[in-house]
Structure formats: C-alpha cells, structure tokens
Amino acid sequence: MPTDELAWETRERRVAYSCPGFDVVNESVQLPDGTETDFDYLSEPPSVCVLPFTPDDNVVCIEEWRQAVSRISRGLPVGGVEPDDDDLEAAAHRELAEETGYEAERLEPLVSVEPANGIADTRLHVFVADGCRPTAEQQLDHNESIRPTELSFADLTDAVVAGEIHDGRTVLAVSYYRLVEPACGPANE
C-alpha cells in the first residue's frame, strides 16, 4: 500500500506495446480520492549522455537526422545502456566511440535526471569526458545517420542560449555543466 497521501496504487500492469528500445506500459491505478483509471507511460532502459571535450577544449557534437521531428538535430552523443555494458561509465565510453569515433581519457559523472517523469520512466545519466580524440571509425546502428563535428564550448553554449539546440538532453548537459563548473574549464573562456 502507498504510504504517502499523494501516492497512486497500481492495481494491474501490462505491456501494451513493445518494440526495440522501449515499451508502452498500461497500468490500472487507484487515485488518492478512490477514483480508478488507466495510466500509460513509456518504459525504456537507462541512457547516457556525454559532454565530450577534446584536449584543446572543443566539444565533440553530433548532427543527427531525427525522424520524429523531420530535421537534423545538433547535440551530444546519447544512447541506451545495453546488457553487455558493465556499468554506466562503460555505456558512456561505448556510445561516444560508436557515434563519433572519439575515445575519452577520463569520464566523470555530472548529473542523473528523470527528464520526462510525467510520461516516462526514463533515467538519463550525464557524463563529462576529457581528452577526447578521434581513434576509429563510427560504428552506427542500422537506423542512425550521424555526423560528428567539433565546436568550442562557447559556440555550443551560444547555440543553446539562442534556441538553436532543440535536443533537451544537450540543453540540460550544457546548462548543468555551466551551473556546477563555473570556476574551471572551457565554460569560462
């Protein structure tokens, strides 16, 4: 039984739709006032986002076709944690290498968030990567169209401020980095 007066009680749970990458879950719930209703949400594995800095303090960004919005999206490397990943850091290293062909000397966790917890159980883990160098070819999934690019952190920040970056994960990573790293690194240049 829920312990908080705001909590909903889940009576029944089923996967209404499943596809590679996510499920749509349907739950029968009882609200605090006793009303019974259904609630649907997206369920997916945890994901990682990497804010990758090169040795000369540029940021390795990606330009990627996003079918849902029918345009090229500029942002940071992001991907789901896979069963073969030993931990979140391993997933971040893998995603950076696969999407950009770059490898990082160091990774540090920056923040973990639930970016859309009203409609999804998604958990996003953001990492800062340092010493990123191109070491190999991209290893894209069959449904990825990605072009890696480098930008100065100032140019990336300006693009976020100007509303030119639409990817919420990138906006979050850059903004949070600016909040917690104000006295060091490329953010002050």
- Going residue by residue through the chain, which has 189 residues, state the pLDDT in tens, using 9 for 90 and above: 557 999 999 999 999 999 988 999 999 999 999 999 999 999 999 999 999 999 999 999 999 999 999 999 999 999 999 989 999 999 999 999 999 999 999 999 999 999 999 999 999 999 999 999 999 898 888 888 999 999 999 999 999 999 999 999 999 999 999 999 754 444 444
Residues 153 and 76: beta-carbon distance below 8 Å:
no
Please report the pLDDT score of residue 182 as a whole number: 54
As to burial, measured by CB atoms within 10 angstroms (0-12 exposed, 13-18 middle, 19+ buried), residue 47 is: buried
At 141 the pLDDT is: 87
**Is the CB of residue 92 less than 8 Å from the CB of residue 127?**
yes
- When computed from its CA atoms, the radius of gyration of the chain, rounded to whole angstroms, is 19
CATH of 47-182, picked from 1.10.287.1060, 3.20.20.140, 3.40.50.2300, 3.90.79.10, is 3.90.79.10
Distance of CA 47 to the CA centre of its chain: 6
| Number of Cβ within a 10 Å radius of residue 87 | 9
Task: Give the residue extent of every domain in the chain.
Answer: 9-43, 47-182
Beta-carbon count within 10 A of 175 CB: 14
What is d(CA 147, CA 162) in angstroms, rounded to the nearest whole number? 22
